[in-house]
Amino acid sequence: NDENEIYFPTDLIVADMEELTIDNVSNTKNILRHTSILKYKGLEAKNVFLFTTKLNSYNQYELYIGITRAMNYLHIFIINE
């Protein structure tokens, strides 16, 4: 909307989440898998969602790794504390 607030319709709420592992990395089930940025180094995904609290030189390398994992869409969420 005009106030840059994020709206999540109830039909988009993910019910199934799991940590990404070597065993499920190629599984195509409709489950949201999450991991740290550095654990995902060397892999790619069609859609990448990055969540960070701030952009700074300390996390610059991690953000570069995360950004370069996206093949089609990249979404970066900066969370204000």
Residues 43-69: tens digit of each pLDDT? 788 888 888 888 888 788 888 888 898
Give the pTM: 0.60
pLDDT of res. 72: 92
Q: Are 71 and 44 in contact (CB under 8 A)?
A: yes
- 27's CB contacts (< 8 A; 6+ apart) are none
- For residue 5, the model assigns a pLDDT of 65
Asked if the model's pLDDT at residue 9 lies above 60, the reply is no
